[in-house]
Amino acid sequence: MTASEPDRPVLFSLAALLALCGLADSIYLTVTHLTGEDVACVASSGCSEVLSSAYSSVGPIPLGAFGALAYFVAFSLATLAAFGYRRARAFLPVVVTAMFITTLWLLYVQAFVLHAFCDFCLLSASLTLSLSIIVAIDFFTRSRHYPASGKMSGP
């Protein structure tokens, strides 16, 4: 990390914490999918519809498993970034952008295809959105103030 570019450990620690929550949510969704449990929603009414729909898995693999993997990768990168690893900091926006696009697609499916929403999916969407905001804050402020920051390497 160059002397002129702040590490922002608090920002990335927050990102890691959010990714950890997403990881827990995704693991829960994966397990309920695999056991066939009928998940009850609290705030919405469509958990069963969403989680048992054709969009809830890719082949035999539940979508939650992909979510868990993505959140774990995001957590790892955010943790490394919090400790000043520049490569991780540079790669985090790529992962979070992919997660954000996937989230938008899943929200579209819930709203316009299934016409049902699931609490746990909405929680995941809000976590991904928060992650995206954090990453965007870091990315754009860094780009604006430190356009020619140092080489991408470990601390």
Our CB check for other proteins shows the closer of 28 and 139 to be 28
Our CB check for other proteins shows the closer of 94 and 101 to be 94
Task: Supply the minimum distance, in Å, between the C-beta of residue 33 and other proteins.
Answer: 9
Our CB check for other proteins shows the closer of 38 and 148 to be 38
- # of chain residues touching other proteins (CB under 8 A): 31
8 A C-beta contact, residue 118 and residue 44: yes
Give me the DSSP letters along 14-37.
HHHHHHHHHHHHHHHHHHHHHHT-
Residue 129 CA to residue 7 CA, distance in Å, equals 22
Which of helix, strand or coil describes residue 58? strand
User: Exactly one of 14, 24, 123, 129 binds other proteins (CB under 8 A); which one?
Assistant: 24
Query: Taking the mean position of all CA atoms in its chain, how far away is CA 53?
Result: 22
Our CB check for other proteins shows the closer of 18 and 68 to be 68
Nearest to 110 by CA among 98, 95, 120: 120
Catalog residues that contact other proteins under the rule CB under 8 A: 20, 23-24, 27-28, 30-32, 34-38, 40, 45, 48-49, 52, 60, 68, 72, 75-76, 79-80, 82-83, 85, 115-116, 155
